[in-house]
Structure 1
Amino acid sequence: MSALLVLTDFTPDADHALAYAAALAAPLGASLVLLHIRRESLLDPDAFTGKIRHMSEGEVAAALAERAATVRVPIVVETAVESVADGVEEAVSRHRAVLVILGKPNTDATPDELVASTSLTLLRATQVPLLVVPGQATAAVPPARLTLAADGQPFRLAPSIIASTQKLLQRVHPALTVTHVAEPEDSDDCRMALASVLHSGLGTDLPHIDTHGVRHLQPAGGILQAATETSADLLVVVARRRSFLGQIFNRSVSAQVVLHSTVPVLLLPATE
C-alpha cells in the first residue's frame, strides 16, 4: 500500500490538510503517515518571526493521537527532531511515501520569498510530489476537475511520479484540462503544451483531455486565472529543477502559484 506523508504542527491549517489527505487516500487505497517535526514549525506563520510553539513530549503524543482518531484510513504517527528538510526526507525514504502534503496558512503578511522557499526546499530534499492545501480551500476532494499547467517545453518526470499521478487519474477520474499561458501578443494555442504532457507519460490513459489557453503578462498570474476559469479543484504545476534549485525562490513560477492559489496545488518535480 502506498503512503501519503502529511505534515502537522497542530494548527487549523494543518488539520484541514489532514482531512484533505484522508479524503484523498481513501479512493487511492493509500495509508497516511502523520509527521510532526519538533523544535520548529513548518506551517505556523510565527515560525518566520522566530516565535515557535514548544510542546512537551506528552502534549505532542496526545495531539497526534487526537488527530489520528479523526481519520478512517490506516495511519501511523511520528515525530522527528531534525530540520524540516531532513525530517521529511528521512520519513519519505523509510515509508516510501509517494506524496507529501502540507497545509498553507494565510501568508498575506509574510514576505513572499520566505513562504515560497518552504515548498521548493521540500521538493529539493525529497524529489517526490508535494501537495499544498490552502487553509481556506473549499475545493472538492477527491478532485473532480484537475487543471495542469504546461509551458509547451518538454519535461521529464521520474517513473515513480508518473505511476503515482496516473494512479490518481485512474482511481479518481477527474476531468483533466491542460492550460498554457502566453504573452498577450502571442497565440494561446495549447497543442504544444498538450503534446509535452502526453510525451511525459501523463494522461495517456485518459479518453479525453481538454485544453484552455490564457494570455497574461505573468505566467503565475495566468495559471491562477486558468484555475478560476476552468473551475479547478486541483491545480497541477510541473516544477522544473531551476525553480527549486535556484536561490531566488520568489522568482519561481511554481512558488508564486503556491503562494497565491486558493485551491490545492500539486507540484510535480521534473528531472530536467
Structure 2
Amino acid sequence: MNNILVLTDFSENANHAAKAAPPLAAKLHSDIIIFNSYYNHPVIPAYAGGPLAVDELVFRKKDSTSGLHQLARQLGHLHNGQAKEEFKPQIHTQCGEGPLGNNLAAIINGKKTAFIVMGGSLNSPVNHLFFGSDTMDVVDHAPCPVVIIPQEATLEKLKKITLATAFEPFDNFAITYLVNLSKKLDFELEIVHISVFEKYEDPDKEKALLRHIKKLEDSGIVYKQIRGKDVIERLNHLCKENWSDMLALVHYEHGFLSGIFKKSTTEKALGHQHIPLMIIPADIQ
C-alpha cells in the first residue's frame, strides 16, 4: 500500500498543511505517516556535563512523540467525518534524530510513498523553497513528489494542476505521473511551456513533448505557451486567471527547469505564489 508522508515541525504552517493528507489519502487508498525530526544539531560535548545534553536529547524525543500523537488525533478526527463508504487511512507516527533530508531514506525505506506533504513559509511555499534549508534539503533527497502548501492555501478542492515545463526530456516522466494521478484524483492537467526567449529556441524538443502527450490517450491535457520577458509573472497570472489549484515544477539536479528558476528575478516573482506547489523529481518513474 502507498503512503502519504507528512513532515511536521508542529508549527502552525506545518499543521495546516497536514490537514490536506486525510482527504488525499482516502482518494488514493493510502495510509499516512507523520514524521518529525526532533534533533537537528548535535551538541553533546566531551565534558563532565555531557549527560545533561543526553537528557536534553531524551526530552526532545518525548516532546516529538507527544506532538506526533496529538497531530495524529487531529487528523483522525478529520477522516472520521468522511462518508462511510470512503477508504479510511491508517495514521502512523515516526520521529528521528538528525537533519530532515537525511532522514528521508530511512523513513521511506521499504515503503511505497505516493508523495510528501509539508508546509510552506508564512508568505509563500516558493519563498521557503528557495530560502529554507530544510525544505530544499527535502526536495534534494526526495525520491517522490513533494507537495508544499502555504498557510493561506488549502487542498479542499483539486480541480486543476498546471505543470510548467521547459521541454526537457525528463519532463515526460512528470507528465505521465500527473496523468496517472489525475485519473485517481480527478483533476485537469494544464501544461505550460515557459521560455525566456521571444522566439522558440528548439522546435524538436516541443515536437517530442507533444508526441508524448498525444500518446497519452484520453488524458484531457490542455497545452499552452508563455514566452518573453517577465515569463514567471505571466505564469503566476495564468495560474490565477485559469483557477489552477496547484503549480507543478520538475526538479533537476542543477536547478528547476534547467536553470530558468535560478535567476533572482524569478525567485522574487515566485515569492508571490499563493497556491500549493508540487515539486516532481526529474527521474520519477
Unaligned runs of 5+ in 2: 42-56, 80-88
CA distance change for structure 1 residues 99 and 217 in 2, over 3 Å: closer, same or farther? Answer: same
From 161, 165, 176, the counterpart of 2:189: 176
Give CA-to-partner distance per residue, 1:183-229, whole Å, 9 cap, x none.
473369x9965852763x79924442112332442444343232122
Q: C-alpha distance in 2, partners of 1:135/1:184? A: 34
CA distance in 1, matches of 2:141, 2:25: 23
Pair 1:38 & 2:32 matched: no
Q: Call closer, same or farther: CA 1:89–1:107 in 2, change over 3 Å.
A: farther
Alpha-carbon separation, structure 2, partners of 1:60 and 1:8: 10
- Tell me if 1:93 matches 2:109: yes
Residue 66 of structure 2 corresponds to 62
Equivalences, count: 252
Question: Equivalent residue of 1:70, what SS?
Answer: helix
Which piece of structure 1 moves more, 234-243 or 251-260?
Answer: 251-260
Aligned to 2:164: 149
- Equivalence for 1:223: 235
Q: Which moved more, 1:77-86 or 1:60-69?
A: 60-69
Asked if structure 2 preserves the Cα contact closer than 8 Å seen for 1:145 and 1:174, the reply is yes
Deviation at 1:75, TM superposition (A): 1.0
Percent identity between matched residues is: 19
Post-superposition offset of 1:147: 0.8
TM-score normalised to the size of structure 2? 0.73
Q: Partners in 2 of 1:113 and 1:236 — Cα distance?
A: 13
Matched AA of 1:238: V
Output the TM-score relative to the length of structure 1: 0.76
> How do 1:24-173 residues align onto structure 2 when only pairs under 5 Å count?
24-40=24-40, 56-71=60-75, 72=79, 73-107=89-123, 115=131, 117-138=133-154, 140-155=155-170, 165-173=178-186
Instruction: Write the distance in 1 (CA, Å) between the matches of 2:220 and 2:129.
Output: 38
Cα distance in structure 2, aligned partners of 1:227 and 1:69: 34
Larger radius of gyration: 2
2: CA distance, partners of 1:259 / 1:266: 15
In 2, Cα distance between equivalents of 1:126 and 1:76: 19
- Aligned partners of 1:235 and 1:266 also within 8 Å: yes
Distance 1:7 1:270, change over 3 A: same
Change (3 A) 1:121 1:251: farther
Determine if contact 1:37/1:82 at 8 Å carries over to the other structure.
Answer: yes
Runs of 4+ in 1 over 6 A off after TM superposition: 110-113, 252-258
Are positions 1:235 and 2:247 aligned together? yes
TM-superposed deviation, 1:92? 1.8
Give the Cα separation in 1 of the matches to 2:267 and 2:250.
Answer: 11
Distance change >3 Å, CA 22–CA 179, structure 1 → 2: same
Name the counterpart of 2:17: 17
After superposition, the C-alpha distances for 1:168-194 in whole angstroms (9 at most, x for unaligned) are 211111111111223473369x99658
